[in-house]
Structure 1
Amino acid sequence: MKVAIIGGSGFVGTRLIDLLASTGHDLLNIDKNISEKHSEITVIGNVMNKDLLISQLQGVELVVLLAAEHRDDVTPVSLYYDINVQGMKNTLEAMESIGIKRIVFTSSVAVYGLDKSNPDESFPADPFNHYGKSKWEAEQVLQEWYKEHNDWNVNIVRPTVIFGEGNRGNVYNLLNQIATGKFMMIGNGNNQKSMSYIRNVIAFIKFLIEEKNNGYNVYNYVDKPDFTTNDLVHHTSDILNKGIPTTHIPYWLGMLGGYGFDMLAWISGKKLNISSVRVKKFCAVTQYDSTKAMSSGFIPPYTMEEGLKNMLKEEFVR
């Protein structure tokens, strides 16, 4: 089918395009940035330009909405709501105007908030930051839309933190610190961290496109088993075949340092890699239930250990 990916020039989108193209789908990428790998199918645009969406989505049968503001330090904070919420409204209105009735939306487990008890899809939303709040508002827009458009097919994926080869996000930064011996453990390291391997995430999105073409469906996406931070250090040590010393510092001291970096960022006007929000997220239990996705008929092509090994060997073995 003809599939439009909105926001397909980033980490997830680039790999999703590769996978869908390999199985014969006709693809279009709409993104504010040109895709280095898929420039021939990329149109420069964004979700704030509804007229462009209407003109470019002609003939499309399904939309995958990846576009989002997702960093912890986006300024002004109104951008989260402009892109993540108003962008959803613009996309739905553009789709309706030309008769597209299928959408896959990548939301986030951030809608649940921090330190929750293994929430499944029925768990109440309680986001703690603007990213999570804006993703939840976007989901609410979809919920209200479906009430008046129940002949549509809506699939929502709430992935946890995504890692994999080529990623330069929080998991990469953590593994890089562990691999280079510069890692300092904040807290006891027993907090569990649900994670998702990129090749499994895109395979699940492909599964939804090809197999789940009816109704309104919401899925957490998590690859199991959940690792603790101590587990990550242990597996990294084994895979790289090196002893990795760790220094533990108390949580309160880590948060104090985070606030210090917040102040430094405010004074300097620069975005720094350390902040109180990132310390809080690092030490939080981020464990989520993925029973629904794993009982949907989808089989992840890779285990967590395989995904971690693939990433570590590509990024850190020379």
Structure 2
Amino acid sequence: MILLTGGSGFIGGHFHNVISNDKLINLDLHKPEFNHSATFYQGDIRKQEDVERVLSENKIEKIISLAAKHHDFGIGHDEYFDTNEAGTEVICKAASKYGIKEIIFYSTVAVYGTTEQMSTEQLEPQPDSPYGASKLAGEKVLIKWAQEDASRKVLILRPALVFGANNRANMYNLISQVNSGFYFHIGKAANIKSIAYVENLVSATLFLANKLGAGVHIYNYADEPQLTSRQIGETIAEALEKKIRFTLPRFVAIACGLPFDLAIKITGKNLPISTARIKKLNTQTLHSANKVRQTGFLPVYSTQQGIMKMVSWYKSQR
């Protein structure tokens, strides 16, 4: 049996699609909103009793840890660490108690911080956000756990921005903006934005889990080809049968975001447009996943195909 923590979320739903549900246990704060037949436990990975209840009632052989705090709005520093670090400590303690030897942990490329150079797994992590720092702290918990027993196996995945059907975060907002006709390119929009299509990521995870032995294994994940912001926008526009008609200088685009910043401050709502989001869209995020491909893993979908599949799902929702 496989324990999937945070399995009711976006990525968890795609694991339900590919793992036989009679072999899957889902531990999450919320019941899944998608159709499934897997066993569900409502619980919190920050609570030892919740995790141990699942392990005591089921013969778990592997844990896939998806549960995390990852939103970039309205969450305090301690909340990230309570889940991403302390929650991982709870999982490791429970795994030790019940003799579980294998944990797969979803980290993030945010552990590298904001950098113009291409990241590989050899690059020293320098997170510059609470989310990235807390995920790196979670990685260290797992590395220590693995070092306590040479037969233990830890697989750490550091995906770029993950997108696909049922995701309503950054890529969904971008698709909505292009669909509205109010999207515009910012400057040359020549900055690379590494992204990861969810079906490819889940396939890579299961491929690596079956291939790797004991010890700690760390892999970035991003799809190929690596696209610029302009290419991503144009791919979305093509799939929507829309045209992106405007290009604004960066300083003008940021100025346009200032009223939205004010609205966010006044209302406390997380709006899809802000100066921070505009700057983020215009920042290069280039992450190499060559190490994954050197294992022999071949993703089914290209980056463009993944985007088009998500746009198709987006259109079906409307």
Taking structure 2 as the reference length, the TM-score comes to 0.92
**Alignment partner of 1:95: what SS?**
helix
1:270/1:39 CA distance change after superposition, 3 Å: farther
**Alignment partner of 2:277: what SS?**
helix
1:316 and 2:295 aligned: no
What residue is the counterpart of 2:50 in the other structure? 52
Structure 1: distance between partners of 2:269 and 2:285: 28
Deviations 1:220-247 (A, max 9, x none): 01111111111123323333444x1332
Structure 1: distance between partners of 2:74 and 2:66: 17
Q: How many angstroms does 1:197 deviate by?
A: 0.8
What residue is the counterpart of 2:162 in the other structure? 162
Structure 2: distance between partners of 1:3 and 1:55: 15
Moved more, 136-145 or 188-197: 136-145
1:186 and 2:183 aligned: no
What residue is the counterpart of 1:306 in the other structure? 305
What residue is the counterpart of 2:25 in the other structure? 28
Moved more, 176-185 or 116-125: 176-185
What residue is the counterpart of 2:176 in the other structure? 176
What residue is the counterpart of 1:11 in the other structure? 10
Moved more, 118-127 or 33-42: 33-42
Contact 1:54 1:94 survives alignment (8 Å):
yes
Contact 1:114 1:281 survives alignment (8 Å):
no
1:184/1:310 CA distance change after superposition, 3 Å: same
Contact 2:62 2:103 survives alignment (8 Å):
yes
**Alignment partner of 1:245: what SS?**
coil
Q: CA RMSD in A?
A: 2.0
Identity of aligned residues (%): 32
Q: How many angstroms does 1:255 deviate by?
A: 3.6
Q: How many angstroms does 1:283 deviate by?
A: 1.0
Structure 1: distance between partners of 2:123 and 2:269: 37
Deviations 1:248-283 (A, max 9, x none): 233234344545534432332222223343222211
What residue is the counterpart of 1:105 in the other structure? 105
Moved more, 194-203 or 305-314: 305-314
Q: How many angstroms does 1:35 deviate by?
A: 1.2
Contact 1:179 1:316 survives alignment (8 Å):
no
Aligned positions of 1:277-316 closer than 5 A: 277-316=276-315
Structure 1: distance between partners of 2:223 and 2:267: 39
Structure 2: distance between partners of 1:208 and 1:42: 25
Structure 1: distance between partners of 2:131 and 2:253: 23
Aligned positions of 1:63-212 closer than 5 A: 63-212=63-212
Moved more, 245-254 or 74-83: 245-254
Structure 1: distance between partners of 2:275 and 2:244: 24
Q: How many angstroms does 1:14 deviate by?
A: 0.9
Structure 1 residue runs of 4 or more that deviate by more than 6 Å after TM superposition: none
**Alignment partner of 2:20: what SS?**
helix
Contact 2:7 2:26 survives alignment (8 Å):
yes
Structure 2: which amino acid aligns with 1:141? V
Q: How many residue pairs end up in the alignment? A: 314
**Alignment partner of 1:223: what SS?**
coil
Structure 2: distance between partners of 1:275 and 1:128: 19
Give the gaps of 5 or more residues in structure 2.
none
Q: How many angstroms does 1:211 deviate by?
A: 2.2
Structure 2: which amino acid aligns with 1:33? H
Deviations 1:40-98 (A, max 9, x none): 51100011111121121231000000000111013233111111110111110111111
Deviations 1:85-140 (A, max 9, x none): 10111110111111111000000001111233111001011212111111111112
Taking structure 1 as the reference length, the TM-score comes to 0.92
